[in-house]
Amino acid sequence: MPAQADLIIANASAVNKTFKAMGVANGIAKWADTSSGILAGYVTITMSMRWPNAASEPVRHTMKINQPIVVTETINSVSYLKVQRRNFVNTDVVTAQDSTSAEKADLMAFQTTMTAHNGTVNLGNQVKNNEPTT
């Protein structure tokens, strides 16, 4: 099995962010963007795969992104950091055990293209602007 490597992913401003490999525990691989220097403010990515217990159950791959928003709060002249809110992305890819590699490749291509589509359905703009799905 290959070693877990750092991930370099561009943000909305096309600035590359490095998500450092934090290890694998209980079947869940974790990466963190530690550039904020504040543990509570680390943006994290986790990935896991759940093997089915029975032949009729699907295989489930899960990716989660957790984006905490940290602010400085001052009470009685004492300042401290506080997680004000969290934003999440949860992606599940569920396939039958007997799915072919081509079927799974198509599924992932559809998902990738749909997320970045510039046509009438643009999930990125809908999320950014709080627009309803059209």
Task: Kindly list the domain boundaries of the chain, sorted by start residue.
Answer: 7-97, 100-134
pTM of the model: 0.78
**8 A C-beta contact, residue 127 and residue 117:** no
Q: pLDDT digit string (tens) for 77-86? A: 999 899 999 9
CB 120 within 8 A of CB 133: no
Give residue for tokens 């974790």: 30
Question: What distance in Å separates the CA atoms of residue 68 and residue 44, rounded to the nearest whole number?
Answer: 9
The pLDDT score that the predictor gives to residue 117 is 60
pLDDT tens string 60-79: 999 999 999 999 999 999 99
- Kindly report, residue by residue over 42-58, the tens digit of the pLDDT: 999 999 998 888 878 88
Task: Output DSSP code: residue 120.
Answer: S
What CATH number has the domain spanning 7-97?
3.30.380.10
